[in-house]
Structure 1
């Protein structure tokens, strides 16, 4: 059964939508103070649309863009975390400032990830 766009989601529904286990969402609640779903009896979590959007943004920062938890926290606090990914892609192409999360610094990690994926595929 599909819900309306403005409906609250349970932790199970949100985890299925993001493709993550529920314990990851509960962990994020401890690390990102902005992520505060409603908790009802029995500690059942209900994510409002704003919470869902924030969880999707956190997921993008951590799992797509390769940020660390601290890096994602800084990105969200700085307000840069509010930009839509499409808006970032349309910005004038410039070299990113040298930081720990710059794409050039991620190349060795991506190479390791690729080799691991190849090894798992061969197994």
Structure 2
């Protein structure tokens, strides 16, 4: 049974979703002061939507971008070096060439996207 968007997640649900062991999430709680899930009786953890977003961000920094724990702490503290910020700071998508939408010319659209990406990375 799938939970509703915005519902609290238990540590087992979140670890299963991310493919991480539960002890890693508990370790991150000790290293990232921003990560404070609700704890109920018996120390059961419930991750709010904001906690889930933060865990995904930490996971991305550590396991995708290759940050160290200290580097991820610094990136979260000063808000730099995260993919979320780079994506939000990127320019709006390039419009397809005139007539490409009507003719359905996929090749022209892909070439326009390729050119836009090449100019974005300075090629």
TM-score, L = length of structure 2: 0.69
Higher relative contact order (CA 8 A, sep 6+): 1
Shift of 1:85: 6.6
State the match for 1:59 in structure 2: 59
- Segments of 5+ residues of structure 1 without an aligned counterpart are 95-123
State the match for 2:31 in structure 1: 31
Shift of 1:82: 6.0
CA contact (8 A) 1:29 1:36 kept: yes
- Segments of 5+ residues of structure 2 without an aligned counterpart are 92-119
Cα gap change, 1:67 to 1:88, in 2 (>3 Å): farther
TM-score, L = length of structure 1: 0.69
1:12-68 per-residue CA deviation (whole Å, 9 max, x = no partner) reads: 000001100000000000000000000000000000000000000000000000000
State the match for 1:2 in structure 2: 2
CA contact (8 A) 1:15 1:25 kept: yes
State the match for 1:18 in structure 2: 18
Distance 1:3 1:82 in 2: 28
Shift of 1:80: 2.2
CA contact (8 A) 1:57 1:81 kept: no
1:71-122 per-residue CA deviation (whole Å, 9 max, x = no partner) reads: 000000111266527717947426xxxxxxxxxxxxxxxxxxxxxxxxxxxx
